[in-house]
Amino acid sequence: MRENRGLIVTLTVNPALDVSTSTERIVSNEKLRCGLTRLDPGGGGMNVARVISRLGGHAHAIYLAGGSTGDAYEKLVTDEELEAERVPIAGVTRESFTVDEISTAGQYRFVLQGPTVTEPEWQKSLALLEASISPGGYVVASGSLAPGIPDDFYARVARLARNKGARCVVDASGAALAAALAEGVYMVKPSRHEMDELVGTAPGGRGNQIQAASELIERGAAELVALTLGDEGAILISAAGVKRLPVPQVPVISTVGAGDSFLAGFVLRLAQGCSQHAAFCTAVAAGTATSMNPATLLCTKSDVERLEKELARISH
Ligand SMILES: Nc1ncnc2c1ncn2[C@@H]1O[C@H](COP(=O)(O)OP(=O)(O)OP(=O)(O)O)[C@@H](O)[C@H]1O
Ligand SMILES: [Mg+2]
């Protein structure tokens, strides 16, 4: 594989310190004694950088963080030996709380609101991003926008990337995704719900979703649309046509971070010079490999490599 140093930059403007634990049974009005606590530096762009690093690649992760949770977040990022750049903010980085209920194998996810980000703070992240982008490289803007960040933020990222000769990949929803598409990006990765919300298609109407994705490509809003379908795999739509991959049969435990892992696999392989088809196989493999691990744990390299071989065998 070719070295991809300097080629991939990720941006996380609303990260979360992921706190995960387990308890026997969730009941109201009682103390719930929990098992061990695990802390992870979460948020779309950071998860993408973490999976890229785990798969042997390299990404530069820019993130906003503040307060004591922001400091704890920074320490976790440093401990994972990621190449990361923190934009300090006055607000306090949020936490996300995931509890696995042992008796039912159910999972409860509490996603707290992020801190308000000021204009000088988000402008600073754009300036750092501009300085980090390499021509021919990839910018991955992933995750929700924190309060205070304008809806056209990812559209601004897309413009910056284009001006520097890089490809912009956006994983977002609602107004932020719509604005990025209006600006024009290289790739988007809507999940089923995000696609329905974006184009107003009837929930789960697969034909309508594919049609809507094709229209995005025809009007130049994106070159690639990866419509991810959870346990039904994913569909890749481009000017070259429509390709579908199923998920390999695996024991599914927790899908937290599956979409971020999908994106990491896709972008890493493209940056390494692989074909779109190979990148698509790695993406589905990485998303599915993450679903095999509990709580916020992401995929392992060996699972991804095993599943991508399996997918390459069953697809053409
Ligand atoms: N239950 C599952 N079983 C196997 N693989 C899964 C499962 N859920 C997700 N995946 C893998 O992860 C990829 C992305 O999942 P999904 O479509 O749920 O996107 P997401 O971004 O995690 O969703 P959302 O943003 O709506 O929470 C899928 O294409 C698939 O490869
Ligand atoms: Mg997602």
pLDDT category at 294 given cuts 50, 70, 90 is: confident
Residue 285 confidence class, pLDDT cut points 50, 70, 90: very high
Please choose from 173, 228, 299 the residue to mutate so as to test ligand 1's pocket, defined by most ligand atoms within 8 A of CB.
228
- Given its phi and psi angles, is residue 43 left (phi above 0), alpha (psi -120 to 50 degrees) or beta? left
Q: Is the pLDDT of residue 178 over 90?
A: yes
pLDDT tens digits for range 76-127: 999 999 999 999 999 999 999 999 999 999 999 999 999 999 999 999 999 9
Q: Is the CB of 234 under 6 A from ligand 1?
A: yes
Instruction: Give yes or no for residue 4 having a pLDDT over 70.
Output: no
Q: How far apart are the first and last CA of the chain?
A: 21
| Ligand 1 contact via 232 beta carbon (within 6 Å) | no
Res. 289: pLDDT tops 80: yes
Smallest Cα–Cα separation from 9: which of 193, 160, 190?
160
Q: Does the CB atom of residue 265 touch ligand 1 within 6 A?
A: no
Res. 1 pLDDT band, cuts 50 70 90: very low
Compute the distance from residue 226 Cα to the ligand 2 centre, in Å. Answer: 11
Distances in whole angstroms, Cα of residue 150 to Cα of each of 9, 89, 117, 172: 21, 16, 10, 13
Burial 270-296 (b: 16+ CB within 10 A, else e): bbbebebbbbbbbbbbbbbbbbbbebb
* pLDDT tens readout for residues 229-242: 999 999 999 999 99
Residues 92, 66: contact at Cβ < 8 Å?
A: yes
User: How sure is the predictor about 190, in pLDDT bands with cuts at 50, 70 and 90?
Assistant: very high
Positive/negative CA dihedral, 288, 271, 55, 316: positive
- pLDDT reported for residue 6: 58
Question: Rg of the chain's alpha carbons, rounded to an integer?
Answer: 19
> What pLDDT is recorded for position 316?
66
For the chain, the farthest-separated pair of C-alpha atoms sits apart, in whole angstroms, at 56
Residues 6+ apart with CB under 8 A from 111: 16, 96
Q: Which two tokens stand for residue 39?
A: 């802390």
The span from the CA of 104 to the CA of 183, in Å, is: 45
Which one-letter DSSP state was computed for residue 191?
B
| CA 104–ligand 1 middle distance (angstroms) | 21
The pLDDT > 90 percentage for the chain reads 92
In sign, the C-alpha dihedral spanning 64, 193, 259, 60 is negative
- Selected catalytic residue, list 18, 171, 196, 260: 260
Contact predicate 68/92, CB 8 Å: yes
Query: How much distance in Å is there from the Cα of 31 to the middle of ligand 1?
Result: 33
Structure tokens at 213: 């994705």
The Cα–Cα gap between 292 and 283 comes to: 15
Instruction: Using alpha carbons, select from 245, 287, 283, 284 the residue that is nearest to residue 267.
Output: 283
Nearest atom in ligand 1 to 194's CA:
26
Active site residue 18: no
Read off the pLDDT of residues 45-57 as tens digits, 9 standing for 90 and up.
999 999 999 999 9
Pairing of β 167-171 and β 138-142: parallel
pLDDT band at 314 (very low <50, low <70, confident <90, very high): confident
Give me the chain's average pLDDT, please: 95
Rounded to the nearest 5 degrees, what angle is found at the Cα of 248, between the Cα atoms of 98 and 169?
A: 65
Summarize the confidence of residues 284-310 as an average pLDDT.
Answer: 95
Q: What's the CA-to-centroid distance between 46 and ligand 2, angstroms?
A: 13
Ligand in closest contact with the CA of 261:
1
pLDDT digit string (tens) for 241-281?
999 999 999 999 999 999 999 999 999 999 999 999 999 99
174-195: b or e for each residue (b if 16 or more CB lie within 10 Å)? eebbbbbbebbbbbbbbbbebb
Structure tokens at 31: 């103390």
User: Using CA atoms, how far apart are residues 121 and 64, in angstroms rounded to an integer?
Assistant: 8
